[in-house]
């Protein structure tokens, strides 16, 4: 691949000896390093609004922008070969050696990993209060400039809330669940010794552990005693599982609920993740081409930048064009309708304006009349005074 | 006699109450439960009393209909005149079953939430001399049972997201008038990572709406349907099982709803012959298992 057609992968920056702090970003780095070693640059970016999907990672290559991990995998697998022919290139598609049924099965496991392991990682990072306050929030805020560092981390956390509530993993007991209002008086914290609170906390934590165990058991059985899910080489599901497990084991979580569980009860998964990581980065991540995205612009503070400010050309999809066209048609019809209404009712409007002006003139005339009366009365008073003298 | 007595004026005032006592309202159609009755969302043809198609238009209700039919439970009636608010936790389906003499007759029976249906089915099968609870739930082995969880994730994640996107959106006024709209699962709870807000994360405007790229959702949906078709191949049941499993019920529910949805999502299934033929065969089994409540 020539230098001019180098791929740029935009991801959340890295911490904890990992190239990114987000599972999909980390999986995409592992994937690209395996599929196109040395032929891509990592752009550390903390502005998801630049992505067509509003999420990181996204990839830019020539005139194309590709967002979400499955799309990136598909795009890289179908990259044009040196001859210009569009085909599956075995060097690029790490699942190319699999049969059609195995690829189908991999797709299902990929969905399972993104949902189940994604929920568990999100629970550790966003749901558990201690981890959020002492680890995730400071980490995310450290990537962001002023003023975004004051509100973007909380918005990211809120975006996960609906998903985690739906799967029963938003389980902060007691008052932590309540939204905080500005200028609200501090609420007295419930004491740890409160038996009800203690019971609730233990019960909720046991529920989370049970849920995590059911997922970890499935992956352990699937992996068995093998190094990878398929012989010899990691495939896409190895990379996705490793990305999630690494983000459960590497950070120093203040509340290590699932970290302890996976380290103590599932060494197979931890070893698998480390094995995959060493396979992809045998000499570490220091040789990765990493650059930071230039700072935020003022335009990022207005929502219109979410769709228009991307400095990279997008691959235009007919479906998106149709949606955008329908949206603008609706806006045009609404504005046109209002304009037409004003035009149709212009007689009434002009009449109303004329009446208002008339009333104003009448009111001014009345005020003037009252002023005149006052002057006459003054004169009368003055004459009366003269008579007296 | 109490030491404290009501003053005479107050007592004479209270004598007038109640002003009128209405007759008790008795249920008009209270009937003894004679057969298990599944409460579902209405079929596609609506609340027409002459309806012959008893397959629900809601994917969750249809899933449980298919589950009952494919597990071999017979004699089940359906009713679709109950709003979701009338179900347990405001959700359908519910299964109304007889208490079998545990209370005096006539009785209304017991209403079960959807998650209790498998336990009831196991008991019903054992009472009727059939194979009840199975640790492998009908799958060939533990690996197939584990794999079924992956397909469930694919169906309830990417395929469900495309189905939600393909549904016609209600107008703002109808969304205000429709009080039950709040029960539907929001789009951003289907996927992980959840979709970004429409107004973006970094702007000063508070987050609002959901930013969805339809092309990305449909691309993933297309891949998922292709994978489903590949995995089924020419097998009789998914994952090579000898008898239908809960996964087959879920796959049927999604395929049936997709085949009656917009062209955008339907075409991905209709171009795969094995999926269409499989759905057609299972539809016959499910349809014949239910009768409408008398």
* pLDDT tens for each residue of A335-373: 999 998 888 888 888 888 888 888 888 888 877 665 554
B205 contact A CB<8A: yes
Q: Considering the domain boundaries, does residue B1 fall inside one? A: no
Partner residue facing A49 (CB), from B153, B202, B227: B202
**CB contact residues (below 8 A), chain B span 210-249, against chain A:** 211, 213-216, 218-220, 223-224, 226-228, 230-231, 233
Of B247, B248, B268, the C-alpha closest to B259 is B268
Structure-token pair, residue A66:
């590709």
Which among A162, A151, A306 has a CA at the least distance from the CA of B194? Answer: A162
Interchain pair A53, B224: CB under 8 A: no
- Interval B33-62: pLDDT, tens: 778 999 999 998 766 666 678 899 999 999
Q: Does B154 touch chain A (CB under 8 A)?
A: yes
Chain-chain contact of A115 with B157 (C-beta, under 8 angstroms): yes
Give per-residue pLDDT as tens, A216-226. 999 999 999 88
Q: Residues of B numbered 77-116 whose beta carbons fall under 8 angstroms of chain A's beta carbons: which are they?
A: none
CA distances from A145 to A148, A151, A159, B197 (A): 6, 11, 20, 20
Determine the Cα–Cα distance for residues A7 and A10; give it in Å rounded to an integer. Answer: 10
* Partner-chain contact B192 A122, CB within 8 Å: yes
- The alpha carbon of residue B44 is apart from the nearest alpha carbon of chain A, in Å, by 27
List the single residue in B with minimal CA-CA distance to A73.
Answer: B220
Cβ–Cβ contact B197 with A under 8 A: yes
pLDDT for B109: 79
Chain B environment of A305 (Cβ under 8 Å): 200, 202-203
Q: Where are the domains of chain A?
A: 3-177+192-318, 327-388
Cβ A23 vs Cβ A247: under 8 Å: yes
The answer to whether residue B281 is domain-embedded is yes
If you write DSSP's letter for every residue of A6-30 in order, what string do you get?
-EEEEEPPP-TTSS-SSHHHHHHHH
Do residues A173 and A204 lie in contact, with contact meaning Cβ atoms separated by under 8 Å?
yes
CA distance A216 to A211: 9
Nearest CA in chain A to B145: A218
Q: Are strands A58-61 and A64-67 parallel, antiparallel or unpaired?
A: antiparallel
Query: Which chain B residue has its CA at the smallest distance from A146's CA?
Result: B202
Nearest by CB to residue A55, choosing from B153, B196, B231, is: B196
Asked whether the beta carbons of residue B202 and residue A221 sit closer than 8 angstroms, the reply is: no
Residue range of the domain that includes B100: 8-292
pLDDT of residue A141: 94
From CA B222, how far away is CA B220, in angstroms rounded? 5
Using an 8 Å CB-CB cutoff, list chain B residues near A158: 207
- B72 conformational bin, left if phi > 0, alpha if psi -120 to 50, beta if neither: left
Distance CA A155, CA A161 (A): 10
The answer to whether the CB atoms of A112 and B153 lie below 8 A apart is yes
Closest Cα to residue A152, out of A49, A68, A254? A49
Q: What is the CATH number of the domain that holds B213?
A: 1.20.1050.10
Instruction: Give the separation between CA B272 and CA B228, rounded to whole angstroms.
Output: 10
Give me the sign of the Cα torsion angle A193, A199, A205, A210.
positive
For residue B77, which phi and psi values (nearest 5 degrees)? -100, 160
Cross-chain CB nearest to B202 (options A109, A159, A300): A300
At the topology level, CATH places domain A3-177+192-318 in Glutathione S-transferase Yfyf (Class Pi); Chain A, domain 2 (1.20.1050)
Closest CA of chain B from A180, distance in Å: 16
The three-state secondary structure class of A64 is: strand
Domain membership flag for residue B78: yes
Is residue B2 in a domain? Answer: no
Mutate to test the interface with B, among A303, A314, A315 (most CBs of B within 10 A): A303
CA-to-CA dists, residue A13 to A17, B96, B240, angstroms: 11, 54, 44
**Residue B20: pLDDT above 60?**
yes
Order of strands across the sheet with B37-39?
Answer: B110-113, B94-97, B37-39, B76-79, B290-292
Domain membership flag for residue B160: yes
Other beta carbons within 10 angstroms of residue B249's beta carbon come to: 21
If one compares A291 and B93, the residue with the highest pLDDT of the two is: B93
Nearest residue in chain B measured CA to CA from A216: B146
Higher-pLDDT residue of A290 and B168 is A290
In this structure, of A45-54, A136-145, B95-104, B215-224, the range with the lowest mean pLDDT score is: B95-104
Q: CB A107 to CB B188 under 8 A?
A: no
Cβ contact B146–A114 (<8 Å): no
Tokens of B283: 């539809």
- The pairing of strands B94-97 and B37-39 is antiparallel
> How many domains, in total, are found in chain B?
1
Q: What is the mean pLDDT of chain A?
A: 81
Q: Which residues pair with A61 in a beta bridge?
A: A64
Helix axes B214-232, A100-112, angle to 10 degrees: 130
B179 contacts B170 by C-beta, under 8 angstroms: no
Give per-residue pLDDT as tens, B147-197. 999 999 999 999 999 998 888 766 666 655 554 444 445 677 888 888 888
- Residue B141 forms part of a structural domain: yes
Calculate Rg over the CA atoms of chain B.
25
Coil vs helix vs strand at A169: coil
Average pLDDT over residues B211-233: 92
A167/chain B closest Cα distance in angstroms? 9
């Amino acid at each position: 691949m020539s230098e001019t057609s180098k791929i740029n992968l935009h991801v959340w920056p890295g911490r904890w000896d990992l190239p990114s702090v987000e599972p999909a970003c980390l999986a995409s780095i592992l994937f690209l390093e395996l599929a196109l070693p040395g032929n891509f640059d990592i752009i550390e970016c903390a502005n998801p609004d630049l992505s067509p999907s509003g999420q990181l990672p996204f990839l830019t290559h020539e005139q194309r922008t590709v967002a979400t991990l499955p799309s990136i995998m598909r795009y890289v697998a179908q990259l044009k070969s040196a001859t210009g022919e569009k085909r599956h290139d075995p060097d690029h598609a790490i699942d190319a050696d699999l049969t059609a049924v195995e690829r189908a099965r991999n797709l299902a496991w990929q969905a399972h990993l993104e949902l189940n392991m994604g929920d568990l990682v999100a629970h550790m990072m966003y749901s558990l209060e201690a981890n959020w306050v002492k680890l995730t929030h400071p980490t995310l805020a450290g990537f962001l400039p002023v003023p975004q560092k004051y509100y973007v981390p909380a918005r990211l956390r809120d975006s996960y809330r609906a998903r985690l509530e739906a799967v029963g993993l938003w389980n902060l007991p007691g008052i932590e669940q309540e939204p905080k209002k500005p200028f609200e008086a501090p609420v007295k914290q419930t004491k740890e010794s409160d038996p009800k609170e203690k019971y609730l906390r233990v019960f909720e934590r046991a529920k989370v552990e049970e849920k995590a165990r059911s997922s970890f058991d499935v992956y352990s059985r699937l992996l068995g005693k093998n190094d990878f899910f398929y012989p010899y080489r990691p495939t896409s599901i190895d990379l996705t599982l490793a990305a999630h497990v690494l983000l459960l084991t590497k950070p120093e979580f203040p509340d290590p609920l699932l970290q302890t569980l996976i380290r103590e009860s599932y060494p197979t998964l931890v070893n698998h993740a480390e094995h995959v990581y060493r396979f992809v980065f045998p000499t570490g991540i220091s040789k990765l081409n990493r650059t930071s995205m230039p700072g935020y612009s003022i335009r990022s503070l207005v929502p219109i930048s979410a769709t228009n400010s991307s400095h990279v050309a997008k691959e235009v999809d007919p479906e998106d064009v149709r949606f955008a066209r329908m949206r603008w048609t609706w806006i045009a019809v609404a504005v046109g309708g209002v304009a037409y209404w004003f035009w149709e009712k212009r007689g009434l409007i002009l009449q109303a304006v004329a009446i208002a002006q008339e009333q104003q003139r009448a009111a001014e005339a009345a005020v003037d009349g009252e002023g005149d009366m006052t002057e006459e009365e003054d004169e009368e008073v003055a004459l009366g005074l003269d008579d007296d003298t | 006699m109490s030491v404290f007595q009501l003053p005479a004026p107050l007592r004479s005032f209270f004598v007038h109450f109640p002003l009128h006592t209405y007759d008790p309202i008795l249920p008009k159609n209270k009937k003894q439960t004679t057969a298990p009755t599944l409460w579902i969302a209405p079929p596609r043809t609506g609340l027409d009393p002459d309806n012959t198609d008893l397959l629900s238009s809601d994917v969750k209700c249809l899933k449980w209909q298919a589950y009952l039919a494919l597990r071999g439970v017979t004699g089940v009636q359906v009713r679709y005149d109950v709003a979701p608010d009338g179900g347990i936790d405001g959700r359908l389906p519910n299964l109304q079953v007889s208490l079998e003499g545990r209370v005096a007759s006539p009785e209304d029976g017991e209403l079960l939430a959807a998650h209790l249906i498998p336990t009831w089915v196991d008991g019903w099968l054992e009472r009727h001399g059939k194979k009840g609870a199975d640790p492998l739930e009908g799958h060939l082995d533990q690996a197939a049972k584990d794999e079924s969880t992956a397909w469930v994730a694919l169906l309830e994640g990417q395929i469900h997201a495309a189905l939600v996107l393909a549904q016609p959106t209600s107008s703002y006024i109808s969304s205000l008038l429709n009080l039950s709209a709040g029960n539907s699962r929001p789009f951003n709870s289907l996927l992980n990572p959840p979709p970004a807000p429409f107004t973006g994360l970094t702007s000063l405007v508070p987050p609002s709406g959901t930013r969805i790229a339809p092309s990305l959702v449909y691309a993933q949906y297309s891949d998922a349907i292709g994978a489903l078709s590949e995995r089924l191949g020419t097998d009789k049941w998914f994952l090579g099982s000898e008898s239908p499993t809960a996964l087959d019920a879920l796959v049927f529910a999604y395929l049936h709803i997709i085949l009656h949805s917009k062209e955008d999502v339907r075409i991905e299934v209709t171009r795969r012959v094995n999926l269409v033929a499989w759905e057609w065969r299972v539809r016959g089994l499910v349809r014949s298992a239910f009768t409408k409540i008398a």
